[in-house]
Amino acid sequence: MQTRIKRSARSVLFLMLLMMVLPMAAFAQGGGDMSHYMGAGIGAGLAAIGAGIGIGKLTGSATESIARQPQAFNDIRSAFMLPLFLLEGVAVIALAVCLLIVVLK
């Protein structure tokens, strides 16, 4: 199981590296400054990764708490929803800022 996770993590890192390097090679012929596209792409990716990690940890903790105390389901669910919505809101705002960087540049 641990080897499988390490292998998939290596694959994801390799794909992220390819996504950062390939656009630079494609835009190198144009002669224009395309670094804002790469910065916006990296920013959007980091926002999505951060939100995914945060939502995963939050959901895992809430699920574990419900498994330990099923009678406290409503209390745990109500305490779970507000941080979840705030975390998704931060991710959407970060993605919107990255999109604005591309559009306004």
What span, in angstroms and rounded, lies between the C-alpha atoms of 70 and 63?
A: 10
Structural domains in the chain (count): 1
Using a pLDDT cut of 90, give the percent of the chain over it. 4
**Residue 25, pLDDT above cutoff 70:** no
Q: Is residue 22 part of a domain?
A: no
Q: Which residue has the higher pLDDT, 21 or 62?
A: 62
| CA proximity to 62, closest of 43, 84, 88, 29 | 84
pTM for the model stands at 0.61
Question: Is 98 inside a domain boundary?
Answer: yes
Q: Give me 101's structure tokens.
A: 């960087």
Q: Establish if 31 belongs to a structural domain.
A: no
Structure confidence at residue 41 as a pLDDT band (50, 70, 90):
confident
Average pLDDT, the chain: 78
Question: What's 65's domain CATH number?
Answer: 1.20.20.10
Residues 47-69 have a mean pLDDT of 88
In a domain, 16, yes or no: no
Q: Which domain holds residue 79?
A: 48-105
Does 75 reside within a domain? Answer: yes
